[in-house]
Chains A and B, each alone.
Chain A
Amino acid sequence: MATVTSAAQQPIRALRNWAARPAVATALILLYLAVVLLVLRGLDRRHLWFPTFSTLAFPAFVLSPFIVMSAPISRRLKTILIGGLILIAMPLVGIYDTSYLELAIQICIFTGLALGLNIVVGFAGLLDLGYIAFFAVGAYLWAMFTSQAPTVINISGLLVPAWTFPIFLIIGVGIAAVTGILLGLPVLRLRGDYLAIVTLGFGEMIRVLARNLDQPINFTNGAQGLHNVSPPPIPEIWTSFTSSTANLMGISLANVTPVAQQLLFYFVGVLIVAIVVVVARRLDDSPIGRAWTAIREDEVAAIAMGVPLVKMKLLAFAAGASFAGAIGVLYAAKQTFVSPESFSLIQSISILAMVIVGGLGGIRGVMLGAAVVTLLNLQVLKNMSLQLNALRQMDFVIFGFHVQNWPTQLEPAKYERLVFGLLLIIMMIFRPTGILPEPRRRIELQHDDVVTDEDDVSPAPGPMVGAN
């Protein structure tokens, strides 16, 4: 068959072939990394357009591991580059500007949560809209046992010392897994839409409980939340290591402790995410993962083939929840403040958006989705607000429009729902498989006839159509 290539496509194809050569690809990637790091180094906070530049540069840096991952270079080089980016470059960027470190920790937290939710929704096909509840359980576990708020635990002197943090990470895993099973048991018979609503109700119940359990006995300090939660202690050696690293970079840190602490959280976050990735990957490839896939595709057929449905569904809930529990402990220790409003439905939906945007079921895709959505939410929208305020103060005029006249109610940072909503709709209509689709799901969706024709009526149910 003759290849039909238009004249315009030929140079593009040639360029692509050229870039696909390992040596060229390596050089291009190194060039990209160098440019991004230099730009990040050169940004000046006092500049009028700093929020915009920062919004361009930092996401480019965060996305670089994913670019390296998909580049046509040798496996060993990929490992070295990604390891270097995560373990060396990011901490250095973070020491240079701690706001980036904060973002990186948030990305770790949400990546872990998205990977956990992916086990429930992506692997086992159980749509869970109350996932944030498990996160809340972990966060409240650490907060209740270390907060200085006048709770019953504080008053009766049951507070634990801060060094128990690693132990509580493990306890958090256990408690959240038990909560997951407790949620899983009543909803075993439900699926699809019903499951979604019941899990949503469960998530709201946990939030309402957290808000109201200050009376008659004060467990959670109610709507005020638990303040002064202990962060884990920082080893002396870690502080001196941080300050000497900063000195090497030519930065003199005025106050080294917070930076060292953030850095410690970052590494704990990376460690947790790494464990989650390994566990999720191993689970997916194991007989358990196959059983989940079977349940997801056709529950009746799975039962007929001897898949122990109850056990497998509970396992999915427990596995997903346990990750969220550990991350919740980390979150509480990092924020040092926990309030019921941090665990609302919008958080559950934003984690779901991460999973969907990245690609339901695939680990790499979900990580990408988590990074993209977290940056969108915590950096892009916020920086748009900052930029707007900066321009407002300058009385900037763009195309004859005075930025000062922009309504104060209309701050981009307050409209994350709008962005998530649009993202979900657009992804569902145009790319239901996500940015980086999981291979099996991609095959499935291509074989589904999606009926768009006006005259065509009610097709036969697709493979995933469940309860009726």
Chain B
Amino acid sequence: MASVSRGLAAPSWSLRLPPAVRWVYDYLLYPIGQMLVFIIGAAVVLTLLAYLLAALVPEPRPNIILADQISRQLPGMIISGISIGFVYAMIALGYTLVYGVLKFINFAHSEIFMVGSVVGFEIMRRIADSGTLQQWNPVVLIVTVVLVSMLVSGLLAVLIERIAYRPLRGAPRLVPLISAIGISFFLIDFVRATEAITRNDFNLRYPTDQLPWLTQSVALQFGTTTVNVKPTSFIVVGGAVLTLLALNYFVNGTKLGRGIRAVAQDQTTAALMGINVNFMISLTFFVGGAFGGAAGSLFGMNVGTVTPYVGFIPGIKAFTAAVLGGIGNITGALLGGLTLGLVEAFLNGVLVYFPALGQRYTDIFAFSVLILILIFRPSGLLGERVDEKV
């Protein structure tokens, strides 16, 4: 059974509740609770692992007590892990949605993410160039930037599907994969060329320096330790939670979402039931692409500078997250993204104290995780059958 249908959906006993309560429960409380459970669960497990490491190697460098360092950094690591984890989760959703419907890994998704971040830059830059950036209401500005990049990335994903994947449906499996690689490479240089012509530079700096409310760190007090958090982290988390709730409602609460679930389960039967399969596939690409675009613009605001090459690493990590959670499974993408984000933040925090390793190997670690999962649990944490159909 294709597990797109399970999504973030609430269990069946909620059917007995009154409709209004049920709506709130199904589409607000349950998914938010699920995210909290994932975050707390992953954070607790990782904290225990970190202290275990501290117990095994109490002093990785002279005069540095690992356990003390971990206690001091713990809130910071968790916060940065959550904010990067939500970005991974949003990109991973694009992989998972398309995989659920077409059983195909959309290799070009990382570039859809990149286009989202570039579109976000273009909007902000244009507003800044017109000199009105400071007059914008922060919420309106962010919502505009995110929505426009969602729209552009979503339409781009639909266009890619129409040009490069639909003519190849039913061809041997390598064929659409290679054409996806082609699209991905083409998009990188196409964006680079466009920016090179219009701006004569392809290092695109978000004009965040003009917005003090976006760059000035907020000091949060956790017991005795103070953590400086960038406001963009809150924006990333908030934006991600809102869009994820919207996705949950869309997939599980609307007729179109039901159509997508039907196509994911069985294309032929869905077509016999009067569902326009091609439309549903396009819609899936739109939704997945829109998520990639939202993640891209939020990521861009967070890091400040983007290039046409920015998509590759987050893309491969988000794919790892999707596989980690169980590809084709929406909840799995969320769990995988948050887990991977937290793992990475913890590694970054802890590896610094080991002179032989250092932070340089965090990227290698993401790949190693991917390979290990695929060896020992190819169906991911929450499971999706990836073994073959005979």
Contacts and interface: CB of A to CB of B under 8 A. Distances in A.
Interface of A: 121, 125, 127, 129, 186-187, 189-194, 196-198, 200-202, 204-205, 208-209, 211-212, 215-216, 299-300, 345-346, 349, 352, 356, 360, 407-410, 414-418, 420-425, 428-429, 432, 444-445, 448-452, 454, 457-459, 461-468
B165 to A, nearest CB: 10
B155 to A, nearest CB: 18
B378 A189 contact: yes
Interface stretch (B115-123, B166-174, B345-353): B166-174
Nearest to A454: B278
Given A190-B378, A215-B358, A428 B182 contact: yes
B363 A204 contact: yes
Interface in B168-203: 168-179, 181-190, 192-193, 196-197, 200-202
Contact of B355 (A194, A209, A216, A408): A216
Nearest to B106: A193
A410 B197 CA distance: 7
B128 interface: no
B240 interface: no
Nearest to A418: B189
Given A415-B193, A463-B172, 11 more contacts: A125-B174, A208-B363, A212-B360, A299-B388, A409-B196, A420-B185, A421-B187, A421-B189, A450-B167, A451-B169, A458-B169
Contact of A409 (B177, B200, B277): B200
A454 B281 CA distance: 12
Contacts of A428: 164, 168, 175-176, 178-179, 182
Contact of A205 (B182, B188, B355, B367): B367
B334 interface: no
A447 to B, nearest CB: 11
Contacts of A360: 174
Interface residues of B, number: 66
Contacts of B192: 414-415
B267 interface: yes
Contacts of A129: 181
B182 A422 contact: yes
B375 interface: yes
A198 to B, nearest CB: 6
Contacts of A457: 267-268, 271, 277
Chain B's interface: helix, strand, loop or mixed, by majority? helix
B164 A193 contact: no
A152 to B, nearest CB: 14
Contact of B371 (A186, A191, A466): A186
B186 A417 contact: yes
B277 A421 contact: no
Nearest to A423: B182
Contacts of A448: 170-172
Contacts of A450: 167-171
A205 B364 contact: yes
A327 B201 CA distance: 37
Contact of B167 (A205, A429, A463): A429
A416 B182 CA distance: 12
Contacts of A422: 182, 186
Given A201-B371, A465-B172, A467-B387, A458 B267 contact: yes
Contacts of A429: 164, 167-168, 179
Contacts of B374: 186-187, 189-190, 194, 198
20 contacts: A186-B374, A187-B374, A190-B374, A205-B364, A205-B367, A205-B368, A215-B356, A216-B356, A300-B388, A360-B174, A409-B202, A417-B188, A418-B186, A424-B179, A424-B182, A425-B183, A449-B170, A450-B167, A450-B169, A463-B172
Contacts of B186: 417-418, 421-422, 425
B178 A424 contact: yes
Given A201-B316, A418-B185, A459 B170 contact: yes
A197 B189 contact: no
A360 B173 CA distance: 14
A423 B183 CA distance: 10
B310 to A, nearest CB: 14
Contacts of B355: 216
A388 B201 CA distance: 19
A186 B176 CA distance: 25
A209 B364 contact: yes
Nearest to B176: A428
B234 interface: no
B390 interface: yes
B312 interface: yes
A410 B105 CA distance: 32
Contacts of A420: 182, 185
Contact of A352 (B178, B190, B385): B178
B361 interface: yes
A208 B182 contact: no
B282 to A, nearest CB: 12
Contacts of A458: 169-170, 267-268, 271, 277
B195 to A, nearest CB: 8
A423 to B, nearest CB: 7
B389 interface: yes
B363 A425 contact: no
B386 interface: yes
Contacts of A356: 178
B289 to A, nearest CB: 18
B103 interface: yes
A152 B202 CA distance: 39
B300 to A, nearest CB: 20
Nearest to A452: B167
B201 A409 contact: yes
